[in-house]
Amino acid sequence: MKLLFKFNLILGLVFAAGLAVSALVSFRFLEDNARDDVVRQARLMMEAMSSVRQYTGVQLQPLLARQQEKESDFIPQTVPAFAATENFNYLRHHYPDYAYKEAALNPTNLRDRAADWEADVINSFRAGSTLRELVGERDTPTGRSLFYARAIAADAPCLTCHSTPSAAPPAVIKSYGPDHGFGWQPNEIIGAQIVSVPMAVPEAMARASFRTLVTSLAIVLVASLALLDLVLILAVVRPLRKLSAMADQISVGQMDIPELPVTGKDEIAVLAGSFNRMRRSLEKALKMLDS
């Protein structure tokens, strides 16, 4: 087995072991990083929907309220929750994996009624006086899902329509009836904004980053091995081949060969110098025998 092959085999095994350890360590890190990226994206979407809510309540609601006074039908576009939900439906054309809901325990619009797991999230907000946002995972029929939730508290504008049926605008009662969406109290946690996304999304992001990382490391390792091979050939293999060729010539009696050049003070240079001295000593010994 040649020296270069042994060197490549040993170094290849070392590189492979290092690559395997790096892969094991980095994959968990990439998974956590991808999960954090998805949560940051969900938080950004939540901020956008909160801005839609605020814009609707501050600017659109007063304008549409005048129009609503002239008509007997309720205009849902005056409701911040409705506006945020509809805006997110347009956003889903670009982010189809993400879902948004303004879930409430006692909503006026029944499409906003909280599912069991959403009710658990809302009750967590209601139980914790300082808890206002929550990140968690849950099981679904299609797999694990990641969610980011933010509490919704009843403020003064909300109570205009949600305090009692008698105080609510007639158009609201006509559209949704008097049986639900009432009895809210000031500053009470009545629901939650929830952005959810399948865990398959951050997992796919982590796998893609992992493939890129492993491929990059493999390319770097192969390039490093090739460079080390070149250095080994120039600094070790070629001088040793010269020594081997010189030894072969001497072994068959060819003494009229030039000495090996000795440059530097490394082990190869020391070996070449020792071989030159051995050759000279052997040449003298042969001359003495001839005489």
pLDDT above 90 coverage of the chain, percent: 30
122 compared with 129, residue with greater pLDDT: 122
Helix axes 80-91, 3-55, angle to 10 degrees: 150
pLDDT beyond 60 at 171: yes
> Which of 11-20, 47-56, 233-242 is the least confident region?
233-242
pLDDT beyond 70 at 97: yes
109 dihedral zone (left: phi>0; alpha: psi -120 to 50; beta):
beta
**24-77 pLDDT tens trace:** 888 888 988 999 999 999 999 999 999 998 888 888 777 766 665 555 667 777
Q: Which residues contact 242 (CB under 8 A, 6 or more apart)?
A: 260, 272
In whole angstroms, give the CA distance from residue 217 to residue 221. Answer: 6
Global pTM reads: 0.71
Which one, of 247, 240, 239, lies nearest residue 282 by Cα? Answer: 247
Burial class (CB in 10 A: 0-12, 13-18, 19+), 116: exposed
pLDDT at residue 28, rounded to an integer? 86
pLDDT beyond 90 at 88: yes
pLDDT at residue 291, rounded to an integer? 63
In whole angstroms, give the CA distance from residue 111 to residue 238. Answer: 80
Kindly give the pairing relationship between strand 133-140 and strand 143-153.
antiparallel
Question: Are 75 and 67 a contacting pair, CB within 8 Å?
Answer: yes
Mean pLDDT across the chain, nearest whole number? Answer: 83
pLDDT beyond 80 at 118: yes
| Structure confidence at residue 272 as a pLDDT band (50, 70, 90) | confident
Question: Are 227 and 43 a contacting pair, CB within 8 Å?
Answer: no
pLDDT beyond 90 at 181: no
